[in-house]
Amino acid sequence: MSAAAAAADVNIYTTREPKLIQPILDQFTQDSGIKVNTVFVKDGLLERVKAEGDKSPADILMTVDIGNLVDLVQGGVTQPVSSKALNEVIPANLRGADNQWYALSLRDRVAYVANDVDVSALTYESLADPKWKGKVCIRSGQHPYNTAMISAMIAHNGLQATETWLRGVKANLGRKAAGGDRDVARDILGGICDVGIANAYYVGHMKNSKPGTDARKWGDAIKVIRPTFANDKSRGTHVNISGASVAKYAPNKDGAVKLLEYLVSEKAQGLYANANYEYPVRSDVKLDPVVASFGPLTVDPLPLTEIAKHRKQASELVDKVGFDN
């Protein structure tokens, strides 16, 4: 490949399996004529880009979890972007104040509830209620999805109240905090628990799986309730994100910005919503019917950067209460 041809490409370093967004990237290439190359970096994205320095071929750094995006910015491997299109589509609480990162899709942290349990509304705080003793399932407290949720709880309610809450949730666990989000649905079907916390998009995958498969059985065993924080007058649900930044030494910054703008277009957001079952950042996108059945999503308005500030405290709290033991 010639240097000129390579410069015209957009190179993405991503901690997400590239196949998850490949249909979107293929459509971008078809629409724009710009080829997109993806490099899957499972671990050590920040360290890799730092080591490559100004010789890095990366144009876009893509990851999941607000904490990971903030780490990239604080690690000095991103640059601000000036884009009216991005700023008009993405709310202020879902992008960096200095435009060094942008959310591309939302991942609401919801309750999976057994179909035969008579409950239609929940707060995150209520999961510590003794009435759920032995009935709660969740993955490791140290998983980024949960440390972000615990961080949000600290931001809303303070450190001491969050410790009390986390001890209450631990006391209610029906099994060790482990496994993945889909395992929460599996264990609800198995009668191990009645309620659990997990990401909503997994339910889209499960309920849209072929009839008779394990995944479909797990999905059909649950209903989804979007919890809110008890003191949040907006009644918003905690969300995490998938997102991206333009790399500090991007060889093709213009192409990178064009791709980011495309990823928040109505067409691309529709692919996020109907291929990955993630919640779009745009409000004018038709949802997959399963996701639409969960009802409207009101996002906790607390800025994600505020939540990210408490990650270290959240992680320390998980260890302090022995949540994963």
* Dist. CA 150–CA 311, nearest whole Å: 8
Residue 112 among known ligand-binding residues: no
- Residue 97 has a pLDDT of 82
Strand partners, 52: none
Whether residues 61 and 139 fall in one domain = no
**How many separate domains does the chain show?**
2
pLDDT tens-place string over residues 209-242? 999 999 999 999 999 999 999 877 678 999 999 9
Domain that holds residue 15: 3-106+238-286
End-to-end alpha carbon distance in the chain: 52
Whether residues 305 and 163 fall in one domain = yes
Residue 295 lies in a domain: no
- Residue 128's CB: how many other CB atoms inside 10 A? 18
Residue 6 has pLDDT above 60, yes or no: no
pTM above 0.95, yes or no: no
Whether residues 231 and 276 fall in one domain = no
For residues 39-65, b (16+ Cβ closer than 10 Å) or e, as one string?
Answer: eebeeebbebbeeeeeebbbbbbbbbb
Whether residues 134 and 220 fall in one domain = yes
Residue 198 lies in a domain: yes
Q: Which of the four pLDDT bands, split at 50, 70 and 90, describes residue 255?
A: very high
Residue 292 lies in a domain: no
- CA nearest neighbour of 91 among 229, 206, 201, 234: 234
- Both tokens assigned to 226: 């979007």
* Dist. CA 247–CA 243, nearest whole Å: 13
Whether residues 112 and 225 fall in one domain = yes
Q: What is the CATH number of the domain that holds 62?
A: 3.40.190.10
Strand partners, 268: none
- Residue 24 has a pLDDT of 87
- Residue 143 has a pLDDT of 94
Whether residues 88 and 175 fall in one domain = no
Non-local CB neighbours of 85 within 8 Å, separated by 6+ positions: 261, 264
Whether residues 118 and 229 fall in one domain = yes
Half-sphere exposure of 158 (CA within 13 A, CB side): 4
For residues 175-213, b (16+ Cβ closer than 10 Å) or e, as one string?
Answer: eebebebbbbbbbbbeebbbbbbbbbbbbbbbbbbeeee
Q: Which of the four pLDDT bands, split at 50, 70 and 90, describes residue 283?
A: confident
| Percent of the chain's residues with pLDDT above 70 | 98
- Return the SS3 of 97: coil
Whether residues 114 and 9 fall in one domain = no
Residue 202 among known ligand-binding residues: yes
- Residue 19 has a pLDDT of 80
- Residue 4 has a pLDDT of 43
Residue 296 lies in a domain: no
Non-local CB neighbours of 60 within 8 Å, separated by 6+ positions: 10, 11, 12, 13, 244, 245, 246, 247, 250, 256, 259, 260
